[in-house]
Structure 1
């Protein structure tokens, strides 16, 4: 291969780069359109620019209310409730063992009471026993929404039919 022809290739490369540089200096069609639009819009101000903003309209003060719910629809907070209870009619099985009343032997139709972080079971005969195998998390998972609140424990027992 000859190296003498190399000079001719260099001259051709220089002409190509010169042509590319010349074309880059000439504005493209899009650039020409942008320049014409820019010249046309020069000195124009958008509507509303420089005009002071209108003063806010005066409004009537809102009526102050003590709460958004009427008293008959308000639910007491957890610190206002002495406890919660729910009926449990089927047998209660804990740790593979059916729970029975320690006094009368009843094994179904329980009331499960949750109060002060403890769980108590109450049979139909009115016997109560502390249940340590159930915690308040278990109670909350298994209880439904409260359908009523009562002022006394006896009112709640009557409401649940005990």
Structure 2
């Protein structure tokens, strides 16, 4: 019985919302459509913009000079590339990698010390997946010890 009474009686809040919606719609219809800016033929860009495939700004990228030989990061889960799980070519292990980025190449090192180059990965992939550098080491072995290998 009470349900039918509620249905017949319009809610003042709904009426107000419908009115506001109608006003906003009418205002939107009155607004002029945006137009694309017309390029001016006499204005030339100051310098061409270089396309970079890496997402990091230049000041956060690894420098390519000799003082930094490369970077390393641990990768504990299986590494899946192109739908395949990457396994060590010598011992067959497929998890707990050290991923090494050096001289625009990516190398994988398993826990037993076997290394293999991974050509399906690049420096941009490494930069997207690595954390900020937390330590600097003088030797390769020091870095491996720091990462627990």
TM > 0.5: yes
- The structural deviation recorded for 1:77 is 5.2
- The structural deviation recorded for 1:118 is 0.2
> Which residue does 1:148 correspond to in 2?
135
**Is 1:103 the counterpart of 2:90 in the alignment?**
yes
Structure 1 residue aligned with 2:114, among 108, 127, 136? 127
TM-score, length of structure 1 as denominator length: 0.52
* Greater relative contact order (Cα < 8 A, sep 6+): 2
- Runs (4 or more) in structure 1 with deviation over 6 Å come to none
> Which residue does 1:85 correspond to in 2?
72
Q: 2 CA distance for matches of 1:115 and 1:138?
A: 13
- The structural deviation recorded for 1:90 is 0.2
- The structural deviation recorded for 1:110 is 0.2
Q: 1 CA distance for matches of 2:103 and 2:64?
A: 10
Change (3 A) 1:78 1:149: farther
> Which residue does 1:94 correspond to in 2?
81
> Which residue does 1:160 correspond to in 2?
147
Deviations 1:55-81 (A, max 9, x none): xxxxxxxxxxxxxxxxxxxxx955211
- The number of residues matched between the two structures is 87
Where does structure 2 lack aligned partners over 5 or more consecutive residues?
1-61
Where does structure 1 lack aligned partners over 5 or more consecutive residues?
1-75
CA root-mean-square deviation:
1.3
